[in-house]
Amino acid sequence: MRYSRFSSLLAGAMALALVVGACSSSSSPVASSGGETGPVTITYTWWGNADRASRNEQALTLFKKKYPNITVQTSFIDFTGYWTARATEAAGRSLPDVMATDMAYLREYSANGHLLDLSKYIGNTINLSGFDQSLVKAGMVDGKQIAIPTSTNTLALFYNPDLLKQAGVEPPAADYTWADYNKFLAAVSDAGKKTADGHKIYGAIDYATTFWFFLQWLVQEGKTPFNDDGSFGFKEQDMKDFLALSADLRKAGQIYPVDRGIQLLPKGGFTMNESASEFSWDNFLAGYVADSGTKNIQVMPVPTGSNGTKGMFWKPSQLLSAGANTKHPDAAAMLINFLLTDPEVGAIFGTSKGVPADKAQRDAMKPKEGSVDATVVAYEKAVADQVTAPVPLPVKGFGSIEAEYKTLGEELDYGKITIDEFVKTWFAEAATMTQ
Amino acid sequence: MTLTERMTRTGGPATAPPSAATKRRRAAETRAGYAFLAPWLLGFFALTAGPMLASLFLAFTNYNLFAPPSWVGLGNFQTLLHDPRFAQSVKVTVAYVLVGTPVKLIAALAVAMLLNNRRRGQGLYRSAFYAPSLIGASVSIAIVWKAMFIDRGIVDQIGQFFGIGWGGWVGNPTMTMPMFILLTAWQFGAPMVIFLAGLKQVPAELYEAASVDGAGPVRKFLMITLPMISPVLFFNLLLETIHAFQIFASAFIISGGTGGPAGSTLFYTLYLYLRGFQDFRMGYAAAMAWLLVVVVGIITLIFFRSSRSWVYYRGEAE
């Protein structure tokens, strides 16, 4: 009985979607959805900080103006707590109508049908004509469009020119290798300069203990990190090789001390202006500028791999999904479309989630010369021809194996375990986590 | 015992068979009793007993919240045996219980004995010393604690003043345990109040008699105070031990929910939480939870058994 009601609702929704698609150019408020009359209330959840919350609220104020019959209830939390809360809701089949999702967790949610297949809305309610098609595919798992990315980002090296000047070290050249980067880090740390507070200036934290940098390196080495069947495209030796890259720096104390880094959380050596460089996603620039209090942070591409290419990839960020349990799929699809494609929303968020995936949103940003948004957009333009690889599509349990890599990385930096122990433990844990 | 004795002494009803009217009245009273109990019963069965039974079932399954649980028998418990992080979490927790609990109880007893003497403003002192245990378990105190023990925090500065370069404790795996023990010892208020009540019960004539016999303060403490307060000591020891096994919130806040640095604050319940809510291995986490219940139960049993030989109840000895 429940099923039949659901399918009739679905049929109604599809019929309506066709109508909506036919007149999608008009901005007239679409009141009812699938047999419903009158106003509906849907829920929308994302992770992030107060800054992202205020941008979302601005966007939703606009949404309310355009769709007065749809009321959106919002909530947000930090990234880690976010997935705990969502998993609990998934267990009770009570996911939000619209929610932000990340590549790392898509497979879990897909495998058990927790997210709505949005394909039937694409082309009518959801207009993705301004999207790069490969990007849309990133949200497709097992043939279902369970998520659509709002933005993209790619890895970058950030550096602080003021600290480099103080240390008397030049930033790496554009075609630098991982070995060159090591030399650069050693030079900055060995300069022995101190900040005004008397803290020693270092080159960077240990890059080898971040899982995504390992994946980037694997791609450069011509490996596919994750196979379609969910198995790994790398072996224990690959991980050992990558961890060995920074082993000498660890031994010589030429990386930013892990014990101080831990105490500074959620800030870090780089945002305390005690460490001269850091690898991260390019949309982190806004946060770096805000946290460090210095506007003078430069962005450049990642090191070149052994085959002479950088093998960068676009990572779809902040995907939007609808819970499969939603009672208002049409309203949810409308909100998703609005957040993905409305030009004004693009202007509100800027590059804070990454560079918008939709062309109209990108064009609407009109970033000021020298602003954070302008820097990030210029960076993504400049590296576009070096982005040659597809993003590694995370396996099931990715969130856990990434966290495990980080935990072990901390123990490695503390000198509590060896590289061999690291790799052995990681593979043993990962085997259970990706089951 | 005494209550039933009194009832049989006063009451005819206990000897004569009850009349039909009395029966009806009693049944009505019983119904009313259950009606008043209903909110509690509902809460107990729906929110405590039900979930506990569910978790007992889950302990024998693989359950990731997304798919229905699948039965694995004792698989989770077998995995625990070979889990190095589990061993680490047991090590950390046992160290905390073995050191933290005695330190806290000694602090509580020492302060209670100081406050037991009559002096002006003792009400103020008692409140002041009790205050930390009211707020100590809160999130804000954990945050303050972390701020005190980081690089150049107040503790580091005090250390530097005395020429000790211990730096920040938060990032130093060997110093995190002392930091947590200080945090728990600082919350000595609750056991202190109980000790204080126990100390008040010690008859003054015992001390007077001992003084006449020429006993010094140490001897008085060992031969009179300790035996006389052994029931409250037992109570405090039991409660604080169980409490120590359950440390979670402060460790979660101070380590940023990771159990770091380098696993040095990976307390049992924190590890359980990470497995359950970070890795979504609910069955494994449930198995850990039940193992903890059983172990704490056994420890409690041992305490009660051993108490016969070292706890002195005045009433019983007559």
User: What is the structure's pLDDT at B15?
Assistant: 54
Q: How confident is the model at residue B16 (pLDDT cuts 50, 70, 90)?
A: low
Pairs of CB atoms within 8 A across A/B: 72
**DSSP structural state of residue B72:** -
Whether B213 has a pLDDT exceeding 80, the answer reads yes
Comparing CA positions, the residue from A288, A284, A305, A261 lying closest to residue A155 is: A284
DSSP A400-427: HHHHHHHHHHHHHHTTSS-HHHHHHHHH
The burial of A88, by beta-carbon neighbours within 10 Å (0-12 exposed, 13-18 middle, 19 or more buried), is given as middle
Q: How confident is the model at residue A11 (pLDDT cuts 50, 70, 90)?
A: very low
How confident is the model over B89-101, as pLDDT tens digits? Answer: 999 999 999 999 9
Torsions phi, psi of A11, nearest 5? -60, -45
B70 strand-pairing partners: B62
Beta strands in A55-147 (DSSP E): 70-77, 98-101, 140-141, 144-145
Q: Do domains A2-151+316-384 and A155-313+387-433 have the same CATH topology?
A: yes
Q: How confident is the model at residue B315 (pLDDT cuts 50, 70, 90)?
A: low
How confident is the model over A333-362, as pLDDT tens digits? Answer: 999 999 999 999 999 999 888 899 999 999
Cα distance between residue A302 and residue A277, in whole Å: 12
How confident is the model over B257-302, as pLDDT tens digits? Answer: 888 798 999 999 999 999 998 888 999 999 999 999 999 999 999 9
What's the average model confidence in pLDDT over B241-258?
91
How confident is the model over B30-81, as pLDDT tens digits? Answer: 999 999 999 999 999 999 999 999 999 999 999 988 888 999 999 999 999 9
How confident is the model over A244-268, as pLDDT tens digits? Answer: 999 999 999 999 999 998 888 878 8
Closest alpha carbon within chain B to A425: B84
Displacement of CA B105 from its chain's centroid (Å): 12
Whether A16 has a pLDDT exceeding 80, the answer reads no
Q: How confident is the model at residue A369 (pLDDT cuts 50, 70, 90)?
A: confident
Beta carbons of A101 and A147 less than 8 angstroms apart: yes
Measure Cα distances from A269 to A163, A382, B162 in Å.
12, 27, 28
* Half-sphere CA count of B78, side-chain side, radius 13 A: 7
Least confident of A142-151, A198-207, A380-389, B133-142: B133-142
Facing A433 at nearest CB: one of B170, B173, B279: B279
Note whether B280 contacts A425, CB cutoff 8 Å.
no
What's the average model confidence in pLDDT over B96-112?
96
Whether A5 has a pLDDT exceeding 80, the answer reads no
DSSP H helices, chain B, are 2-10, 20-43, 50-58, 75-81, 84-116, 122-135, 139-148, 154-161, 176-186, 189-201, 204-212, 217-220, 226-228, 230-245, 249-254, 268-273, 282-310
Q: How confident is the model at residue B177 (pLDDT cuts 50, 70, 90)?
A: very high
Q: How confident is the model at residue B10 (pLDDT cuts 50, 70, 90)?
A: very low
Q: Give the max Cα distance, chain A.
A: 74
Facing A262 at nearest CB: one of B79, B171, B257: B171
Query: In what helix (H) or strand (E) does residue A383 lie, and over which residues does it extend?
Result: helix A372-383
Q: Are strands A40-47 and A277-281 parallel, antiparallel or unpaired?
A: unpaired
User: What is the structure's pLDDT at B275?
Assistant: 92
Torsions phi, psi of A94, nearest 5? -135, 45
Structure tokens at A23: 């007149």
Report for B15-24, B54-63, B211-220: range of highest mean pLDDT: B54-63
Whether A32 has a pLDDT exceeding 50, the answer reads no
Q: Which residue has the higher pLDDT, A142 or B242?
A: B242
Whether B13 has a pLDDT exceeding 80, the answer reads no
How confident is the model over A35-88, as pLDDT tens digits? Answer: 344 689 999 999 988 888 999 999 999 999 999 999 999 999 888 789 889 988
Chain B residues touching A114 at Cβ < 8 A: 66
Whether A18 has a pLDDT exceeding 70, the answer reads no
Q: How confident is the model at residue B163 (pLDDT cuts 50, 70, 90)?
A: confident
User: What is the structure's pLDDT at B164?
Assistant: 85
What's the average model confidence in pLDDT over A389-406?
88
User: What is the structure's pLDDT at A370?
Assistant: 83
Closest alpha carbon within chain A to B279: A400
Rounded mean pLDDT of chain A? 88
Q: State how far residue A338 is from chain B, nearest Cα, in angstroms.
A: 29
Q: How confident is the model at residue B7 (pLDDT cuts 50, 70, 90)?
A: very low
A2-151+316-384 CATH choice from 3.40.190.10, 3.40.980.10, 3.40.1190.20, 2.40.340.10 = 3.40.190.10
User: What is the structure's pLDDT at B132?
Assistant: 86
User: What is the structure's pLDDT at A78?
Assistant: 84
User: What is the structure's pLDDT at A10?
Assistant: 44
How confident is the model over A278-322, as pLDDT tens digits? Answer: 999 998 898 888 888 898 999 999 999 998 999 999 999 899 999
Note whether B173 contacts A414, CB cutoff 8 Å.
yes
Residues within 8 A of A (CB atoms), B 149-168 only? 150-151, 167-168
Cα distance between residue A224 and residue A233, in whole Å: 5
Per CATH, which fold does A155-313+387-433 belong to?
A: D-Maltodextrin-Binding Protein; domain 2 (3.40.190)
Chain B residues touching A80 at Cβ < 8 A: 257, 278
* Half-sphere CA count of A283, side-chain side, radius 13 A: 19
Segments making up each domain of chain A, as ranges: 2-151+316-384, 155-313+387-433
